[in-house]
Structure 1
Amino acid sequence: MTWNPDYNPPTAQRTSKPLPRLASETTADNPWPVSLLSEKFYTAVERWPSVWVAGQITQINTRRQGSAYITLRDDQQDIAMEVNGFGRFAAAAAPFVQGDRVIIHGKPNVWMKRTSLSLRGDAIIAAGAGGSLKAMIDELRKKLKGEGLFDADRKKPLPEFPHCIGLICAPQARAEGDVITNVRLRWPVVGFKVTHVHVQGEQCPSDVVAAIRQLDADPDVDVIIVARGGGAFEDLIGFSDENVVRAAAAAHTPLISAIGHEDDWTLLDLVADLRASTPTDAAKKVVPDVHEQMQLIQVNLDRMRVRIDATVSNETRLIEGYANRPSLTQPLTMLEPHQRFLDDARTRMRIGLTRILDDASLTIEKAHASLTALSPQSTLDRGYAVVQCADGHVLDDADKVKTGDQLTMTLKHGIVVSEVKTVTKE
């Protein structure tokens, strides 16, 4: 876009006076509109030549396909600039990460909507990572990983309901307010022990190490949060210090790392028991939500009531079933089977005894008949007589008597005493 000397602002911005052509001609009564000044910046920058520039990547975003946005920082001074590019430049920038030193070719550019200056890149190459901070951190990361400091089985579980949280952050830092405010919104009863430290610069590692050890030794502290807001890669370098990592690994108290934003990373994130993407995220992960817990309690209370009601109802129905049983409403019915058993037994016993008596009577009658048939009386009844000698012996042989002996004869009816007149022997 180039400057048009015949430029006229929109109708709403037009004045009765013509706009000055030069900046030196503007006055309070006849100023330039913002759009015109932005266009003049754009026109001036367009005349600047392309340039090769070297620096370190502190932020890079290539998530949107076909575009790349980079923050490039000077190697020596705290000066940075924005670089953006598209197409082939974006594809070439995709492999790079925070901390890489690169050389970029591009042309200065003004985005008129915000009148912001940036470098429109068209080529990017690595500047050599031999002495970069990222290379040193990568070497330290490999060393500590080899010692097992980042192993998952070393991670300690966080307390479910902490009573006291140890917070390590910068004094009057936004991160401190974010953590405390969000934690107390979620779990108001929790307490804090805050330790202020330098979160960048030479004093940062020693301060953080001392704070971790101090809070770890405090028996009241249930969990430690190390929090810092976002920043350039080298601003966060103190949290990748070897002493800080080893202090975090040696701590017995669970530790949460909440350094920078989601895209930022430090070695403390790898050794921490939990890595939070931001200080606010750490607040959400360190304590439960009181409202969720209340809802959970209410849900469980409702379940308990439903189960108790169901149990009571089942027991009530069971008791009602027992109460309505005939054994309780008509207890005599319990004796009916036994009474029937006794009656049947009595009947069977009577029948059995009758049969035994009948059989015995029949046997007696048969024996009586047999005795009657075999008795001497039966012989007498048939007309025979029993003859007895004087000594009472039954006479069965004529040789046993002689003439003149007295004999007694028993007949069917009566007894006859006679004297022997004649004895005849056959």
Structure 2
Amino acid sequence: MQYGYQEANYGYGSAVATPSNAGAPKPLDQLPRLARDTTAENPWPVSVVSQKYHDAVERWPASWVEGQIVEINMRRSTSGYITLRDNTQDISMSVMGFRNFVAMAREFKQGERVVIHGKPEVWVKATRLSFIADDIRRVGAGDLKAQIDELRKKLKGEGLFDAENKIPLPEFPRCIGLICAPQARAEGDVITNVNLRWPAVDFVIEHVHVQGAQCPPEVVQAIRKLDDDPRVDVIIVARGGGSFEDLIGFSDENVVRATAACRKPIVSAIGHEDDWTLIDLAADLRASTPTDAAKKVVPDVREQWQLITNAWQRMNLRMDALVGNEQRLIEGYANRPSLTNPSTMLEPHQRLVDDAVQRMRYGLTRIIDDAGMTVEKLHASLTAMSPQATLNRGYAVVQTADGHVLDNAADASMGEQLSITLHHGTLLAEVKGQAGGNHIDTGD
């Protein structure tokens, strides 16, 4: 039987084992030909077993295989990988393809049901069985994916994913509830990164199964327990990466409902960036990885110190500027002429008063002058019309004893006493008679 390798490739020569070379490989003709001929003293080397597997599998014919895509990686143009799951049983297989297959498989997505044509092959160096594919065709959406999609639509219709139901995360949590697998890398990632960013945080950790049938009930119980714990401020549900079927427990309806009903904020950190589960939609915040969850749940102490330092510096600058402005204002007041020479404060008012007094004087002078001229005019008019002016011209005023002016000689009675007012002085007279025979006696 040919095994497809040469003796020199595996170090098997023609030398016979002796006490001096007891550790050297045996030649091929000394190895058992069949598996039933091997013994503990004369076994097959691993390389021989692996090559036998390879040769046996190589004789298998090519076939079409049906299943559901639970993981797909077609990022490289030269090779790609698919994890194909049985449609009804929990059995998966690895599928590998090269350039032509990658070009066909790029349009396929996780959860789709497909048929793949290829041939099994054993990689001798790791004795790993793979299905080398050369064709892929779509059958329809995978049953599991369809079930999850239907559940998503149902829960969305009930409002479990609505944004208004999301609870904001506390800015400075004091205690974090962590749900993860025991001794999982996700637990270390969360605790390490939280302690690096915000060392003052405490943890309450609930260990659960993160895949399999035990996963959903244990996760639900852990969520409710942490929700009732008064110490816990925020809850993180964390799990490392895995295939679609590994993460299926976090799309369980009970898990999603417990997450949506939780009174405390929940952060989901399931798998990697490309992975998704229904708990991500019900959680108050989704993190791409457990490390990302740690960064989103607590602030960075260095950033907070920097914020405090910047605020302190801005406050000092504003206080210095405020004090400086007040000092300059006080200096400005102190250097004002009104304080250095207070009399200058009165100067404009004094000038105003002086101007007012001057204007008042001018006004009063004009008023007095106008009044004087009026008085003079009235005096002249009065003087011109007064009896005195008549007397001044040589006339006299004759009055009877009772003060009436006598202007008709016929009105005088004989012997009546009269007073005669002249320009200078007054005369007393007695009527003796009228002109033409009568005369008035002045009585000296």
- TM-score, length-normalised on structure 2? 0.73
Q: Is the 2:119–2:132 contact (alpha carbons within 8 Å) kept by the matching residues of 1?
A: yes
Q: Deviations over 1:317-363 (max 9, x none)?
A: 33333333333333323322332233233223333333344344444
Cα distance change on mapping 1:50 and 1:284 into 2, 3 Å = farther
Paired residues for 1:1-400 under 5 Å? 20=12, 28=23, 48-52=59-63, 53=65, 56-65=68-77, 67-72=79-84, 82-100=94-112, 102-108=114-120, 118-125=130-137, 132-369=143-380, 382=393
Q: Does 1:424 align with 2:430?
A: no
Cα distance change on mapping 1:64 and 1:368 into 2, 3 Å = same
1:283, CA displacement in angstroms? 0.9
Question: Is the partner of 1:199 in helix, strand or coil?
Answer: coil
Flag structure 1 segments of 5+ consecutive residues without an equivalent: 10-18
1:165, CA displacement in angstroms? 0.8
Q: Is the 2:13–2:26 contact (alpha carbons within 8 Å) kept by the matching residues of 1?
A: no
Identity over aligned pairs, percent? 65
- TM-score, length-normalised on structure 1? 0.76
Q: Deviations over 1:133-178 (max 9, x none)?
A: 3343333333333333233333222222211111111122221111
How many residue pairs were aligned?
A: 410
Flag structure 2 segments of 5+ consecutive residues without an equivalent: 28-46, 439-444
Q: Deviations over 1:284-325 (max 9, x none)?
A: 111111111222222222233333333333333333333333
Q: Is the 1:5–1:21 contact (alpha carbons within 8 Å) kept by the matching residues of 2?
A: no
**Structure 1 residue aligned with 2:30:** none
Return 398-407 or 214-223, whichever deviates more.
398-407
Question: Is the partner of 2:246 in helix, strand or coil?
Answer: helix
Q: Is the 2:180–2:187 contact (alpha carbons within 8 Å) kept by the matching residues of 1?
A: yes
1:207, CA displacement in angstroms? 0.9
Return 413-422 or 283-292, whichever deviates more.
413-422
Cα distance change on mapping 1:395 and 1:183 into 2, 3 Å = closer
Task: Give the RMSD, CA atoms, in angstroms.
Answer: 4.5
Q: Is the 1:245–1:268 contact (alpha carbons within 8 Å) kept by the matching residues of 2?
A: yes
**Structure 1 residue aligned with 2:38:** none
Work out the CA distance in 1 between the residues paired with 2:230 and 2:60.
Answer: 64
Return 328-337 or 241-250, whichever deviates more.
328-337
Cα distance change on mapping 1:5 and 1:316 into 2, 3 Å = same
1:105, CA displacement in angstroms? 2.9
| Structure 2 residue identity aligned to 1:93 | A
Work out the CA distance in 2 between the residues paired with 1:391 and 1:49.
Answer: 177
Q: Is the 1:399–1:425 contact (alpha carbons within 8 Å) kept by the matching residues of 2?
A: no
Return 204-213 or 140-149, whichever deviates more.
140-149
